[in-house]
């Protein structure tokens, strides 16, 4: 399995947690805002394997035209296959017309375009004047403050509303054990490490997104969207630990801390095997629009 296939597998595993976590008040407010439109044209930013688009497809009772914008071409190819499977499962006819996917049932028509490119180049990829909504799931914690601000300025120019869900704010294991806060701090710091574009917002994205959206005069509704991972889901818990195992050593200042980390990870693995560990991952959802 290559890196993208592994990422695709992770994105699929998190779907039920995202679905349960999404803030229903934030979502309902967005639906209310859009309900009078006959059809909707939506851009899904950082679309990955299309999980966010698939989530909304059956929630929307209008004809829909989607543009999936994603920088990783391989993920978008996987998205196509998964959308075709979604159509079969939900009794839609699907047709590929050039590279556009057209889904139809007796009532609705859904058109889905895939665009390989960066969210930061959005204006040059699509005509933003013609869109009703931008959505993004689990994306903006990866952005730096500056990138998010640049992106918001683009939204402002076109008065395009934004529904941004599952923005990471923290991790808590239950029960807590010694050194949890220590290594979770490193895990969060890893998200904010220096990269070629600057530092990702990571767990600080919630407060920054709120301030930045307010600052450009958007009306903003914010709500919590937690994942509650039970001790029965050992596959998911193991994957979370693997992310920590791979990321934390990159930023440990002292080599001796690696032993301490290994001991902590081993203890967590034992607790998972005994079904004695569960985990809460906190996130925030945002609905921002213009009056």
Q: Quote the distance between the C-alpha of residue 265 and its chain's center.
A: 26
Least CB distance from residue 266 to ligand SAM, whole Å? 28
Q: Which is nearer to ligand SAM, 45 or 277 (CB)?
A: 45
What single-letter DSSP state applies at residue 80?
H
Q: Which is nearer to ligand SAM, 75 or 241 (CB)?
A: 75
What single-letter DSSP state applies at residue 38?
S
Residues 6+ apart with CB under 8 A from 55: 15, 18, 19, 22, 137
Rounded to 5°, the CA angle 136-201-3 comes to 65
Q: Which is nearer to ligand SAM, 114 or 268 (CB)?
A: 114
Phi-psi region of 166 (alpha: psi -120 to 50; beta: other; left: phi over 0): left
Q: Which is nearer to ligand SAM, 48 or 277 (CB)?
A: 48
Least CB distance from residue 140 to ligand SAM, whole Å? 9
Q: Which is nearer to ligand SAM, 200 or 288 (CB)?
A: 200
Least CB distance from residue 205 to ligand SAM, whole Å? 12
Q: Please choose, from the candidates 104, 107, 133, 106, the residue with its C-alpha nearest in 3D space to the C-alpha of residue 37.
A: 133
Least CB distance from residue 203 to ligand SAM, whole Å? 15
Least CB distance from residue 245 to ligand SAM, whole Å? 19
Q: How many of the other CB atoms lie within 10 Å of CB of 290? A: 13
Which residues bind to ligand SAM, rule: CB under 6 A? 11, 46-48, 51-52, 69-72, 75, 118-120, 137-139, 142
């Amino acid at each position: 399995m290559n890196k993208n296939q592994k990422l695709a597998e992770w994105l699929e595993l998190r779907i039920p947690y995202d679905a349960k976590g999404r803030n229903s008040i934030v979502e309902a407010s967005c639906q209310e805002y859009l309900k009078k439109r006959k059809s909707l044209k939506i851009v899904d930013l950082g679309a990955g394997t299309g999980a966010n688009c698939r989530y909304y497809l059956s929630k929307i009772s209008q004809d829909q035209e989607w543009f999936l914008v994603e920088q990783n071409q391989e993920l978008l190819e996987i998205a196509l296959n998964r959308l075709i499977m979604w159509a079969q499962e939900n009794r839609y006819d699907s047709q590929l017309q050039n590279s556009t996917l057209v889904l139809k049932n007796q009532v609705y028509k859904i058109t889905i375009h895939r665009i390989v490119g960066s969210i930061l180049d959005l204006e040059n990829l699509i005509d933003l004047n013609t869109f009703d909504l931008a959505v993004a799931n689990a994306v903006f914690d990866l952005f730096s403050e500056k990138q998010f601000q640049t992106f918001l300025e683009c939204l402002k120019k076109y008065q395009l509303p934004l529904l941004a869900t599952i923005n990471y704010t923290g991790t808590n294991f239950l029960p807590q054990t010694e050194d949890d806060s220590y290594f979770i701090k490193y895990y969060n710091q890893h998200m904010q490490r220096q990269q070629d574009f600057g530092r990702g917002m990571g767990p600080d994205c919630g407060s920054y997104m709120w301030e930045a959206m307010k600052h450009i005069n958007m009306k903003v509704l914010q709500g919590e969207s937690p994942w509650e991972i039970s001790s029965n889901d050992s596959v998911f818990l193991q994957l979370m630990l693997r992310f920590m195992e791979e990321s934390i050593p990159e930023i440990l200042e002292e080599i001796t801390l690696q032993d301490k980390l290994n001991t902590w990870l081993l203890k967590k693995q034992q607790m998972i095997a005994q079904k004695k560990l569960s985990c809460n991952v906190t996130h925030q959802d945002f609905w921002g629009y213009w009056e």
